[in-house]
Structure 1
Amino acid sequence: MTIELITKAQTQRTSQAGQAGQVALVGAGPGDPELLTLKAIKAIESADLILFDNLVSTEIRALFPAHTKTIYVGKKKADHCIPQDQLNLFMVDKAKQGLNICRLKGGDPFVFGRGSEEQLVLHAHDIKTTIVPGVTAASGCTAYAGIPLTHRGLSTGCTFITGHLKNGKLDLNWPQLAHLDHTLVFYMGLGKLAEISEQLTRHGLDANTPAALIENGSTPQQREFVGTVSTLPTLAIEHQLKSPSLIVIGSVVSLAEKLSWRDLEQATKNQALSA
């Protein structure tokens, strides 16, 4: 279902009932529907309209109530089905008509999710908003790959970094990142993987630092590949990784094999089914 065009005049309409609706900015987590919070489920079930992103998994979409109107408003690389400014005004207009909206985003709405941008516009138009945090990809996908973000003696912190900037360039503080001694997690960085690897090693990060690529994290289609920061570009090409993929760099990646649990969980399920 496509979204209709919104004019400035439309955004000034008020609900015939005289009561405005509200918008819940909801995090859907990284893909596994069982990672949805109870509050997220409640927002989905009580909404008059659900606006969902590209990274909201098929399994989560299957939970949408059959009677609720849903509209896909997702964004892929160089493919935005609706400009962000138009989407903001659409939510304002529909809320003023009295609809309760669930704005459903992959991960967490306040971690590279533009949730704060949308909330600023909604507040400017006096639309009531609720924020429902979600499991962000950095913690969800790494946990499903057996990679802790922190570990005593290996990493005292973690840093989340976007691999996609408005000007198309990764204008980051590479010297600081290379010497931060944190676990580095890059979102939306698959297309810039060669640059990320080259810049970090050029500025002092050991080329043999453990690193991992996680594709479709927390879903049945999850794939993870472990190497070093210097071999990441080769791994991505060899295995033909596609978005969404997370890049994880740091000593904690060395624990992935020891802490792996998903294969064991699946084996246990298979054993129970065959019993």
Structure 2
Amino acid sequence: MSSRANMRPEVTGFHDARTSSVQYVVTDPASRQCAIIDPVLDYDEKSGSTATRSADAILEHVQAHGLKVAWILDTHPHADHFSAAGYLKGMTGAPTAIGGRVVEVQRLWQEIYDLPDSFRTDGSQWDRLFEDGDRFPIGDLDVRVMHSPGHTLCSVTYVVADAAFIHDTLFMPDSGTARTDFPGGDAAQLWQSIQTILALPADTRLFTGHDYEPGGRPLAFQSSIEEQKRGNAHLQMCDEVAFVDMRAARDRMLPMPRLILHALQVNICGGRLPERDEKGRRFLRIPLDALGTPPWA
């Protein structure tokens, strides 16, 4: 059986500057099969325009490097961008997947959006729903799924040999950790999820879902277990109680992401845009005063 070192996946990150999101292509170097993780469907809230530039750049990379897409994966339903999973499935035929507790997120947001009873809250918008400990292949690479709640109810981490895609649990060390004030978020659960991630083997490469380039530093989205333990801004001298208190105080000061009400109705549908009406138009549904009174920005 191949050693861990010999099964090191190739990882390519694609940064979407509009949303500070990082999309990934993770590739098995032997079979040239790959998975696309957290792809972005471009959306301009000022004009209501959608585009596929970000997803098409990923497809160009796939074609240029002779790759075959085996999976299209989301780590959670994103609050700051539309998922391009539906578009990429149509372009590649690859199956889509997300964490199984997305059904609870669907039920939460069905109520917030007052969606009709015909809206399916069974996760059937994806081809597979993963539970904690599930495994699946990308070519010859073995992938393990870790349930990592806290930022959302259904967040998962994908561990691919020595690479872990940790979504919005940990950012780069100078940016700390994810907020937990979205519907279904929980700071104590996030603390436990972070401890599980930091218990991975010491040589694990950690790939985060966003980078905000604080202080104007260059883009960065890969860190190590040791770098996070030693330098994460929100974990220093923290126990669980202190962390939960810190997150609660910090989250009270954060405005909601500008696209949260736009994005969730798309992302709880597997990245599918609303159906067209009889005139060929699509409409988003924006509930007013549904998220309390967070700070404005």
Q: Same fold (TM over 0.5)?
A: no
Structure with a larger share of its residues in helix: 1
Shorter-chain TM range is 0.3 to 0.5
What is the TM-score of this pair, normalised by structure 2?
Answer: 0.32
**TM-score normalised to the size of structure 1?**
0.34
